Amino acid sequence: MDKPIVEIRRSLLPLSWLYGIGVNFRNGLFNRKILKQRTFQIPVICVGNITVGGTGKTPHIEYLIRLLSPRYKVAVLSRGYKRKSKGFLIVDPDSKVRDVGDEPLQIKKKFPGTLVVVDKNRVAAIEKILSIEKAERPDVILLDDGF
């Protein structure tokens, strides 16, 4: 193995230990019911990881829309990264990037029949989506960048 790669791996090892400790601590909070886990009456599929940008989360959401939408009504929930607005917003093709973020708008334009919403508060947003009248309510919700 290359010497620089070995040095990089060694230097990152303590960071990976710290990350592991943090994950185990958080999982323990869920196990002890200090942090609450929420369940909903429809499937919620979370696509995301700890990295920001450029890892293919939104293209994977688009793949899932193409895969699921022939059989199910799909909704997409995003934080709306870098948007200037606050709270729950339903994205439409005429929305402005500054209000909803570029990726939610991109998804809405590619899939106009898909409900796309933005909100930082995932639980509150899912509850609002589920309060939509039954005929329009989605069968599945995709979380874009859910972590």
Residue 88 · residue 128 · CB < 8 Å? yes
How many CB atoms lie under 10 A from the CB of residue 8?
Answer: 11
- In this predicted model, what pLDDT tens digit does every residue of 7-38 receive, in sequence order? 888 888 998 899 899 989 999 999 999 998 88
Residues 56 and 113 in one domain: yes
Structural domain boundaries, residue 75: 44-144
Quote the pLDDT of residue 51. Answer: 60
Q: How confident is the model at residue 5 (pLDDT cuts 50, 70, 90)?
A: confident
Q: Are 68 and 24 in the same domain?
A: no
Q: What is the mean pLDDT of the chain?
A: 90
Mean pLDDT of 115-121: 95
Note the pLDDT tens digit of each residue in 80-116.
888 889 999 999 999 999 999 999 999 999 999 999 9
Q: Are residues 87 and 135 in the same domain?
A: yes
pLDDT band at 57 (very low <50, low <70, confident <90, very high): confident
Those residues whose C-beta lies under 8 Å from the C-beta of residue 101, and which sit 6 or more positions away, are: 78, 79, 80, 81, 82, 83, 118
Same domain, yes or no: 66 and 121: yes
Number of domains in the chain: 2
CB 117 within 8 A of CB 89: yes
- Which H or E element spans position 118? strand 115-118
Q: 96 and 129 share a domain?
A: yes
